[in-house]
Structure formats: C-alpha cells, structure tokens
Structure 1
Amino acid sequence: MNAATPAVHQAAALLLGYPGPDWPARHTLVRDCLTELAAPAATPLLRFCAAVDGVPVLDLASAYVRTFDRSRRRTLHLTYYTDGDTRRRGSTLAALKAHYRAHGWAPPEDELPDHLPLMLEFAARCPAPGHRLLRDHRAGLELLRMALTDHGGPYADILRAVCDTLPGPSPADRAAALALARGGPPTETVGLAPFAASDPAATPLARGNGR
C-alpha cells in the first residue's frame, strides 16, 4: 500500500458525499490537500475537482441524485453488487458493523455500513484493515466504476482513483467483473440481474456531511 493511499481514500470519501451546503468548503479543502500531496494517485481526484469547480451546489446535488440514486447499476452500497436483495445481505451488513467496531470505529447510525464513503473513511482511518475491506469488495467497486464510465459525468474519476489503490489490474471488462462478483452470492440473488441483463458483454481530512 502506497503512503499516499489513506489520503486518497479520505479525499474520495469526501468527494463522494452528497453535495450539501458545506460542499464549496469541502471541495476547496480536498482540492488544496490533494494539490499539496503531489502524488500520481491524486490525479483522477484532481480531475474530478476541476470538472465540478464552479458548478452551483443545487445543480451538483441534482446530478448526484441522478447518478447514484436512480439506478441499481450505480448504487454506492457495495454489498448490493454481491448479495443483491437477499437475506445474505443483512448478515453481511451486520458483519461490516462488527468489523468497524472491532477496530475502534463507530460509523453514523443513519447510513448503511456498506455505503462507499463510509468504507473509504474507515480505510483512511484504519489503513490496513480498511484496505483489505476494499479489496474484499473489489468486484462492486469495479462494477460501479464501469457503470459510472458508461453513464458519463465526472464521478467515474473518483472510482478510478480508488480502484487504482488496489493491487493487481482491474478486470478487463464487465464480464470479468461480474464473474468476480459472483464468487459467492446466494442462489436467490436478484441484485446482479440488472447487470447481466443490461450488458451484452456479460451476456485524515474532516468528514463531509451526508444527506
């Protein structure tokens, strides 16, 4: 793990938070810290910062909702990519909460523990176990990265930066990412169906405010 990795994870966590009233200050803080970091891993994040610079907060908030809240293919809740809407997901979420507590971190109760900004913040605060956790959820991260790339807009750069912090190459295509995601899902999985059906190839900084 590169020495800059925790800073990249914290910056990504802040940039993936809902752009509320605190967004201009949050954006400036992250951009300035990444500029000082001067690490290649920060390049995609700085590209995102430049793309949204000057965009009114209300416009950015509307784009955020369109991007992440209106398609299961682009959800920020990573266990959905492997567990779908199944009973297994409940136990996975409980295990995530226990994992955070075991390392002395208590995430807010008003957000599910698989929400990517929370997982990234944990990785920034507890680098070794947090990095392992992101590796465990690589399939979801890569599927989200690909979906955001297809969707267009600047958010794909944030996922690109996160995936670049993980060891080894990214899956070559969505079919490979889906195969990775299906490494152990339950038989009743419904969450993966939209991916397969819609894809012919598959055939530390201050924490940002949430919504």
Structure 2
Amino acid sequence: MSRPRTTEAPEAVVFQAAALCLAYPEQELLDRLDVIEAALAGTDTGPAFAPVLAHLRGARGVAPRRLLRELQSFHVQEFDLSRRHALHLSYWTDGDTRRRGGVLAEIKQLYRDSGLVVDLAGELPDYLPIVLEFAVRDAERGRELLHRFRASVELIRLGLIADDLPHAGVLQAVCDLLPGPSPQTRVEVQERFGNRQPVELVGIEPPATRQPIELIETRGGAAR
C-alpha cells in the first residue's frame, strides 16, 4: 500500500497548534486535542505533533481530573522550574538584568503597535506561547519577533531533544518555518546567531495563577 500524501500545513495552523500545546495545560486544551489533530492531519507537520498529543491524552483509564493534575505538574517541573526548557525567550539572551526589562518593554510596545489588545494573563510578554499566538494574528510582526529570538527558540528545541520530551517536535515544527536549517548544537546556535553567550540564571518561578491567553482585535488598542 502507498503512504497517504502529505501537504505543508499553513504557517498559522502550526503556530496556533504549537501555542496551545506548549501552554500550561487546562481542561479546555484537552477538550480541543481532536481539533488540533484534525487540523494537522494529512500534513507533513502532523507527525511532529504526535508525541505531544499522545502525552496530553495520557494513559488509558486515567481519571480526567488526575490526568489534568499530572499534566500540570509535569509542565511546571519541565518548563517553569527547569532552566533547560524555559519558555521565556529573553531568559536565554538577556538574563536577570536591567537590559531584560527594556527588552520586555519593547515586546509589549510591539503588541501595542499591532492594534491588538493582548491579555498576558499574568505572563511576561516574551512567553513563547504568547509570541506564537501573536504570530497567528499578526504574521509580519510575529515573525519579526520569532526571528529576533531565533537563538532562544533553537536552544529550547535542543534542550527538549536532549531530554527526550514529547514537546521537542513542536519546537522543530516552529523552527522549520523559520529561515534556514536549525543548528544542531549550542555552539552552532552561538556561531550562527551571535557570539554572546546565553546568560545562566536561576529558574523561573511559575506564576501564582494561570489563565487562558487571549488576543482580541481592536482599533488602536493597547497591550495590557
């Protein structure tokens, strides 16, 4: 039998699916897994998301509430407390410095300039799921932001691959939509995107509360 033909998934579909799968898991996400899978079905990106979708569905027979707690605990451990997979992009480039505050302010201004009201839901504006969601709504500015932090995205990808986490394919799918091949080592990342060493920091603590990220189109709106 011949394999089914695959097609390239639209960029917005990949960015939206990645934003959802990388965010702190809530029941709403689990309820939308079939929709995400259907959107990627038959595309060459579908296999990259298969491990994370399987991870989010969990083992058969696990009670829904228990599964959600386990997924949330896993996310906090791997993405909030681990420096190896931190999803805040300026973490990798500017560290816990005054310079980073300026970078975060620039990102918020970019959101304002887009004419979107960006509800950060207690997150910093450089949080990768927010950046990806922004790229869905404003492709030009969103891509500009991803290009600016390409080194950060690649370093997250390399960390996920090294630790064999199911989210690695998601980062690979995102990087595949950016110009040029992905570097294969941290040294290659530094050589390609600049020779400034990523700053070593203490781990990022999880926010006290988490709410869904929402981008609402508006005329002349401001980021909150």
Length-normalised TM-score, structure 2: 0.76
2:13 match: secondary structure: helix
2:100 aligned with 1:89, yes or no? yes
Conservation of the 8 A alpha-carbon contact between 1:100 and 1:106: yes
The unaligned stretches of length 5 or more in structure 1 are: 186-190, 195-207
Amino acid of the structure 1 residue aligned with 2:189: A
Residues 143 and 177 of structure 1 are in contact (CA less than 8 Å); yes or no, is this contact kept in structure 2? yes
User: Which structure has the larger Rg?
Assistant: 2
- Structure 1 distance, partners of 2:26, 2:37, is 17
Q: Distance in 1 between matches of 2:196 and 2:112?
A: 25
Report the equivalent of 1:175: 187
Identity of aligned residues (%): 40
**Normalising to structure 1: TM-score of the pair?**
0.81
Amino acid at match of 2:104: L
Does residue 1:13 correspond to 2:15, yes or no? no
- Indicate whether 1:209 and 2:212 are aligned: yes
Q: In the alignment, is residue 144 of structure 1 matched against residue 156 of structure 2?
A: yes
| Aligned residue in 1 for 2:128 | 116
Match of 2:137 in 1: 125
Q: CA deviation at 1:73?
A: 2.2
- Distance across 2 between alignment mates of 1:113 and 1:17: 13
Mapped contact 1:45–1:158 kept (Cα < 8 A) = yes
Give every structure 1 segment of 4 or more consecutive aligned residues whose post-TM-superposition deviation is greater than 6 Å.
none
How far is 1:181 from its partner? 5.7
1:44 to 27, 45, 48: 48
CA deviation vs aligned residue, 1:73-92 (integer Å, no higher than 9, x gap): 21110011110111110000
More helix by share: 1
1:65 paired to 2:84: no
Cα 1:87/1:182, change in 2 over 3 Å: farther
Pairing 1:155–2:161 present? no
Equivalent position of 2:219 in the other structure = none
The root-mean-square deviation of aligned C-alpha atoms, in Å, is 2.2
